[in-house]
Amino acid sequence: MSNGQSDPERHEEEVDPGEPIAQLAGFEYDVSTGLLGRIRRAISRRTTAAQVTSFTFDLPFVVFKEFWTMLAEHLNLK
């Protein structure tokens, strides 16, 4: 990690990568639909788990807050 000081050996100049190398275009592979489906399902599972965990964690506080609001309105506390 950097503490804000720059390395004296590094130069702050922009490096121009130049033109794309045409030979590298030959290394491109098509991704199978099965792989994309597995990745989407994995992301969906993790997103669902995160949402359920967040809901389960926040639910007691929300219920307590609602009961407190109802009690305050019933007793006219403000």
Per-residue pLDDT of the chain in tens (78 residues, 90 and over written 9): 455 555 556 667 787 777 777 777 777 778 888 999 999 999 999 999 999 999 899 999 999 999 999 998 888 855
pTM score above 0.75: no
| Six-digit token string for 30 | 């098509």
Q: What are phi and psi of 16, to 5 degrees?
A: -85, 115
Domain boundaries, the chain: 33-75
Cβ partners under 8 Å of residue 78, min gap 6: 72
Three-state SS at 61: helix
Q: Half-sphere exposure of residue 45, counting CA atoms within 13 Å on the CB side?
A: 6
Q: How many CB atoms lie within 10 A of CB 65?
A: 10
